[in-house]
Each structure stands twice: as structure tokens, then as C-alpha cells.
Amino acid sequence: MTPKDLQLDWLKCFVAVVDAGTLSGATTEVHRSQSAVSMQIRKLEDALGRQLLVRGARRVELSADGQTLLGYARRMLDLQDEVQGAFGEETLTGRVRLGVPDDYAAKYLTPVLKRFGPRHSGVEIELDCEQSTSLIPRVTSGELDLALVSRDHARRGSLLFHEPMVWVGSPQFELWRRDPLPIAVYEDASLARRHAIHTLAQQGRRYRVVYHSSSLEGQIAAVESGLAIAALTLCSAPSRLQILGREEGLGPMAPMEVAVYRSRDSQGSKAVDGLYNVLVRTLRQG
């Protein structure tokens, strides 16, 4: 069977369903009803002659053919954005209030802003850097429009990728040999703190909190001074620090689920739509 020509609207619906995990979750992204989204997916599957999605009890999953199509679909939609930009896409204006933790800002936000800024110079981006646990309530309340965060619930936000967590120590000190283990952690509500302490508890490893702070720089300073070891996201761990693992008696930690959260109050803002789409297409993996 020869595949038929594919329509971009079909691909948009397909990617939106994959990203949201459900047909109903995709409706806001593509501004269509659930029945219309389902119809677009069916047309796409008919055109290719392949089943792309496997509908489970709670979420839809990609079939093997769907996984193959996903990369092509994202590239085709990205190319459409580039063509629209080259031929004078709609000028966006306004303000977007964006939150991001320090450890994600440099590595992940920089490529997003490099892609968005030159094309939408009329949009003012107001950036706040805080811990994820502080940013998420501000999105919920409408104080922020968007936040790139470690998500606090499996079905909240739009998942982008998994960020590894690692133990780090100064190569000048062998603190992992101590019992109890001296650790530096973030504040009580921190997801990174929970991951670290949960991992140590599972290992039956005794520990002692000798430093706690909401500051990434403070965590690094505590490690470099030989005060403690710390659990950091891999993207924020300086190369001058030693990553500790099984050889030092420290087991692996669960990764962070990095997601973009959007406030309900920002729905209808084309400026927020634009930055949200660039965030997703730049950072989403898979």
C-alpha cells in the first residue's frame, strides 16, 4: 500500500496526543474537541495504513510505527515554524512571566531563548529563578505564566525529559567513607532532598544533614569546602566535582521529571503560546 499525503493538522493532533498522554489532554493544545482529535488520528492512521497509538486504560501509548513517525512529525512541524518565520509570521507582543530553577536555567533555558528571542523581539520575558517547589504554586495561582520545573506529580504539566540525579563530592575529601554520611540538602519541600534521603533510607545508609539551603551555589560551596556531599541534577554538577556512585557505596537515585507548567490564566495569550511551543519543541526528548 502506498501511503497517502499527510496533512500537518493530522501530525499536530498526533504529537499533541503523544505529549498529553490522552486524547482529552490534547484538546487544549490543538483547540479541537476530543471527537475531532480522534478523527484526525484515525485519518493519519488510515493514510499510513498503520496503527500509531495503543489505547490503554488511562493513557495512550505509541506503537512501534508510532514511535517511528514521532521523530518525523516533530521535524515536519519544526520546519513549518521555520518557513512561517522566514515569510513573516505574525508579530508577537506582550509579556511572558517565566519561572525556572537555577540548575535548569543555563543548560536548558539558553537554547530556548536563543531560538525564541530573535524571532519575537516584541515579547518581554520576565524571568524568575527559584526552586521548583516555589514556582509551581505561583503558576497555579496565575502569578507566573510558565515554569520549567521538576514536576511534583506524575500527571501534571507537560513532560519534556528526565534529568539524572547524581551524588557529588570534592575529590580532595573522601567524605563518603564517613558514618554517618555528611550531606548538604535543599529545603524541606525540595524534590531533590526527598530523592536523596529516600535513596539513603533504601540503602540503610546512615546520614547527617550538616548543611541545607535553597541555593545551588550554597550546595556547591558546601561540597567544595569538604563540609558534605550533595545530591544535584547532572546538568548542574560542575566538572571539578567528583560524581560518586556504587564504588563509593552510593546507589543511583531516581531522575527528575522535567516538565513545563502553564497557568490557566495565560490561555489565549499568543505570546505565551509562542514561548510554550518553543519550550516544548526545543526540549522535549522522544
Measure the CA–CA gap between 129 and 101, rounded to whole angstroms: 5
Over the stretch 42-55, which tens digit does the pLDDT of each residue have? 999 999 999 999 98
Helix (H, G, I), strand (E, B) or coil at 81: helix
Residue 1 in this model has a pLDDT that exceeds 60: no
Over the stretch 126-151, which tens digit does the pLDDT of each residue have? 999 999 999 999 999 999 999 999 98
Q: How far does CA 224 lie from the centroid of its chain?
A: 28
Measure the CA–CA gap between 201 and 69, rounded to whole angstroms: 42
Nearest to 258 by CA among 231, 281, 283: 283
Q: Which residues have CB under 8 Å from 65's CB, separation 6+?
A: 48, 50, 51, 52
H or E, element range at 146: strand 146-150
Measure the CA–CA gap between 200 and 193, rounded to whole angstroms: 11
Measure the CA–CA gap between 165 and 252, rounded to whole angstroms: 8
Residue 57 in this model has a pLDDT that exceeds 90: no
Residue 286 in this model has a pLDDT that exceeds 70: no
Strand-pairing partners, residue 208, are 182
- Model confidence pTM above 0.75: no
Confidence class for position 90, pLDDT limits 50, 70, 90? low
Question: What grid cell was written down for 154?
Answer: 506524575
Question: What grid cell was written down for 229?
Answer: 556531599
Query: What is the bridge-based pairing of β-strands 181-185 and 158-163?
Result: unpaired
Question: What grid cell was written down for 199?
Answer: 535513596
- The count of other CB atoms within 10 Å of the CB of residue 224 is 16
Cα–Cα separations (whole angstroms), residue 41 to 45, 221, 268: 6, 52, 25
